[in-house]
Amino acid sequence: MKLLVVLLASIALCAGSAIPQIPGDNSHYVEGESRYIWMPDGEGKPHLVDLQAPPEITALSGRNGANNEYRLFTRNNPTNPQVLVNGNANSVWNSNWRWGRPIKAVVHGWNNNGNSQVNTLITAAFLAVDDCNVIVVDWSGAASGLYTTSVWAVPGIGQFLGNFMQWLLGTVGGNWSQVHLVGHSLGAHIVGNAGRQVGGQPWRVTGLDPAGPQWGGNSLALNRNSGVYVESIHTDGGLLGIMDPISDADFYPNGGRNPQPGCWVSTCSHGRAYELFASSVRTNHFVGRLCGDFNQAQNNQCSGSALNMGNNILSKRGSGLYALSTGNSWPF
């Protein structure tokens, strides 16, 4: 019997350490056990990630939040960014900054940059429905390279973002009731840290499939203390995203897991979160139903009170777990 237990343990260890051969296929992955997982870059191309690779701590000195780039988009410059520089008031006054307008900050995830689709899709959606200031946070220097190194960089990136937002409001005037922070994957945990850096003052914080690997139970992850109202949209829970509820309101479209409708490779479901959010900003047509428990949410069997998923409404409030069904192609 003892020999059998040892043998089974050895088989499990080998399975967890086996290198998957099919790009984008995460069917092998077991949360907390598997060493390797496929993650998409900003163009959806899968990259094999070793979750046990030691972080390049020495590289972090040159890849921290001090190198964040804050790209401003408004209706006067919807596609050509103007860079705002922390501490340089002229960079704001000489820009197209719209005084008194809502402020949206968008943060990408691992192996993405300021030009990645998550940013362009959400920025275009915000500007289509609202005369607002959209700040795309490019942290590509720290987001590139080893995933484990990027994970280590996340708290600092978020703290610098929080300090920048504090400086910005103090420079141009305004208050936190105008601020909505949105982050995808690792970016969700960045906006979580940014919100806590300023005492949870941002009016809305939205996590789009917050990154799962190395974040389950992590006190530095996005949580309810990150803003006045914190919302998460889970689309790849248990794989590239966190499945557990971590926000005031947690939405589980189509059960919150892979495969999302219309996704033929598992890495697609992770990016579906920002596509659904962009669509929700434009149309606000996703109606979630309150769930009695987590099992109902996973099985999309909820029929309680309604709360719309996503959208750009700063005053939105809600709590609990919500489930809903979506289509398989834009606008879903």
Of the CA atoms within 13 Å of residue 42, those in its CB half-sphere come to 21
Give residue 47's pLDDT: 95
Question: Cα separation of 22 and 26, whole Å?
Answer: 9
Note whether residue 26 is domain-resident: no
Give residue 11's pLDDT: 36
Give residue 60's pLDDT: 64
Residue 16 predicted with pLDDT over 80: no
Contact 71, 138 (CB under 8 A): yes
Q: Does the active-site annotation cover 244?
A: no
Give residue 195's pLDDT: 98
Question: Cα separation of 109 and 42, whole Å?
Answer: 8
CA 219-221-223 angle, 5° bins: 90
- Give me the mean pLDDT over the 176-182 stretch: 98
Contact 63, 153 (CB under 8 A): yes
Note whether residue 31 is domain-resident: no
Give residue 266's pLDDT: 82
- The pLDDT tens digits of the residues spanning 115-127 come to 999 999 999 999 9
Note whether residue 329 is domain-resident: no
Note whether residue 79 is domain-resident: yes
Give residue 248's pLDDT: 98
- Look at the pTM and tell me if it is higher than 0.85: yes
Q: Does the active-site annotation cover 185?
A: yes
Question: Cα separation of 102 and 152, whole Å?
Answer: 31
pLDDT above 90 covers a percentage of the chain that reads: 88
One-letter amino acid of 57: I
Name the residue with tokens 């659904």: 276
Catalytic residue among 138, 209, 236, 248: 209
Sheet holding 320-324, edge to edge: 77-84, 69-74, 133-138, 103-107, 179-184, 204-208, 229-233, 249-253, 320-324, 287-290, 306-308
The least confident of 1-5, 147-151, 164-168, 316-320 is 1-5
CB atoms within 10 A of CB 120: 17
pLDDT above 70 covers a percentage of the chain that reads: 94
Phi, psi for residue 32 in degrees, rounded to 5? 85, -5
Residue 58 predicted with pLDDT over 60: yes
Catalytic residue among 95, 185, 266, 280: 185
Full 3-state SS string of the chain: CHHHHHHHHHHHHHHHHCCCCCCCCCCCCCCCCCCEEEEECCCCCEEEEECCCCCCHHHHHHCCHHHCEEEEEECCEEEEEEEECCCCHHHHHCCCCCCCCCEEEEECCCCCCCCCHHHHHHHHHHHHHCCCEEEEEECHHHHCCCHHHHHHHHHHHHHHHHHHHHHHHHHHCCCHHHEEEEEECHHHHHHHHHHHHCCCCCCEEEEECCECCCCCCCCCCCCHHHCCEEEEECCCECCCECCCCCCCEEEEEHHHCCCCCCCCCCHHHHHHHHHHHHHHHHHCCCEEEECCCHHHHHCCCCCCCEEECCCCCCCCCCCEEEEECCCCCCCC
Note whether residue 255 is domain-resident: yes
CA 110-159-117 angle, 5° bins: 30
Give residue 3's pLDDT: 38
The least confident of 29-38, 60-69, 93-102, 115-124 is 60-69
- The pLDDT tens digits of the residues spanning 239-257 come to 999 999 999 999 999 999 9
- Domain of residue 111: give its range: 57-324
Query: For the packed helices 117-129 and 267-283, what is the interaxial angle rounded to 10 degrees?
Result: 10
For the chain, the straight-line distance linking the first and the last C-alpha, in angstroms and rounded, comes to: 52
Note whether residue 209 is domain-resident: yes
Note whether residue 167 is domain-resident: yes
Q: How many domains does the chain have?
A: 1
One-letter amino acid of 292: G
Question: Cα separation of 79 and 21, whole Å?
Answer: 39
Residue 5 predicted with pLDDT over 60: no
Residue 98 predicted with pLDDT over 80: yes
- The pLDDT tens digits of the residues spanning 208-251 come to 999 999 999 999 999 999 999 999 999 999 999 999 999 999 99
Q: Does the active-site annotation cover 140?
A: no
- The pLDDT tens digits of the residues spanning 286-328 come to 999 999 999 999 999 999 999 999 999 999 999 999 999 999 9
Averaged confidence pLDDT in the chain = 93
Note whether residue 11 is domain-resident: no
CATH number of 298's domain: 3.40.50.1820
